[in-house]
Structure 1
């Protein structure tokens, strides 16, 4: 990549394998942020390293599942130095992210009961580095509402494929107007609000892939999945796991 070309990064994917990496390269991406649900940070880091090479940077991230199942707020964090569990209060999560000086992104704002709304983004504005304004899972009015939030609060924007399906990778990216060579450079660009554009593909195939991602919500929010992950008490990112050494006992919700 020459110095005058934008750095093209998909800032949120849930899937990562050889097919995903090859697809990202074929569509001209320079980086992916890999942030799967309910996966411990060391495992995410290990997999990100495995698939990083000279042509594609894979950056580890955590989409934190804060609050209760019925009133959950997702927060996307990059640059974590220590693991942070799911199922803790939003206030507890944001305090920990501030302590670690993590990059904090607000994915899919005001979407159902899984997102930060305008009031919460305003409340934590000083800690939030960007608001997502294009996500294939959402409808056009969701994206317009997100752009309005970012504009009113004067926050930078980003877009992602939010890919839960491999074929969604390469459909959306954020083009950052700065040379970036590594994870540290990407984190700095996001913290500093470097100029960027949210870009995506168009046409019938793009619409079909958006529809397929939206349909995936049925499984993602199913009671069966909730029972398996939460009521079992065995999910690997539960705050009572040894990984977290009971540091979050006072802010856990389950």
Structure 2
């Protein structure tokens, strides 16, 4: 049986990423860069997709404020959703769009849904991540406990912010998924899958490199520049959203 291998969460996408993904035997990447609007993500995903590798557009949505932010990975979106809405408003909009809702890195650091959140919104959550390259072993262990406790399907991803992490972790489905919609539906329908990861010292080094990257990713300086001062593309008060989300914005 030939499995269909998906890395369900990557932040980087260019020619080198595509080459590496193919060399690692991946069939699809789910591309969800930070602070980038959905139309741009969709355009880049189309540009880097070909017969050997599908690139699925997605958004990792930042909900809440700096001290209570929680991340949600969403694909199958029909319209853009900004960052920094309340968690309730984000989930309400995802439900309205019937999007595929994935829980990345549950209970990790200060940026994740916890077991209570997943229980509250379990009716619209489609899968829970059980292995992430940024995690330490205890984090992956806890994520597995949460997934088992909810009964929701599992997934694993490289969460690659660095090119070298591509292909370190993947989720393998039992049947071919020949198009972007079919990958989205596989997660929506909870099709059978298994989570795999590479092993050995090289994998451990790449995981620690990804963890170290958190120092910049979660720095106040980055947040202040991108969110508070920049009014960047996914800020809820950006003109592109036409004021639709202003009542639910936390900034």
Return structure 1 stretches of 4+ with deviation > 6 angstroms. Answer: none
Matched, 1:165 2:157: no
| TM-score, with structure 1 as normaliser | 0.97
Equivalent-residue separation in structure 2 for 1:65 and 1:193 (angstroms): 24
* 1:45-104 deviation per Cα after TM superposition (whole angstroms, max 9, x unaligned): 011011000000000000000000111000000010100000100100000000100000
Asked if structure 2 preserves the Cα contact closer than 8 Å seen for 1:81 and 1:100, the reply is yes
The alpha-carbon deviation at position 241 of structure 1 amounts to 1.2
Give the TM-score of the pair, scaled to structure 2. Answer: 0.99
C-alpha displacement of 1:12: 0.2
Alignment match, 2:218? 221
Distance 1:231 1:248 in 2: 17
Bigger Cα displacement from structure 2, 85-94 vs 179-188:
179-188
Task: Quote the offset at 1:177 in angstroms.
Answer: 1.0
User: What count of residue pairs does the alignment treat as equivalent?
Assistant: 251
Q: Secondary structure at the match of 2:186?
A: helix
Q: 1:233: Cα distance to partner?
A: 4.1
Matched, 1:96 2:100: no
Indicate which of 15, 24, 30 corresponds to 2:27. Answer: 30
1:70 aligns with 2:72: no
Structure 1 position 198 matched with structure 2 position 195: yes
3-state secondary structure, aligned to 2:246: coil
Counterpart pick for 1:124 among 109, 121, 124: 121
Deviation string for 1:122-161 (max 9, x for gaps)?
A: 1000100000000010011111111111111100000000
User: What is the root-mean-square deviation of aligned Cα atoms in Å?
Assistant: 0.7
Q: Distance in 2 between matches of 1:199 and 1:224?
A: 35
What is the Cα deviation at residue 118 of structure 1? 0.5
C-alpha contact (below 8 Å) 2:61/2:83 kept by paired residues:
yes
- In structure 1, runs of 5+ residues without a counterpart are none
Structure 2 residue ranges without an equivalent (≥5):
none
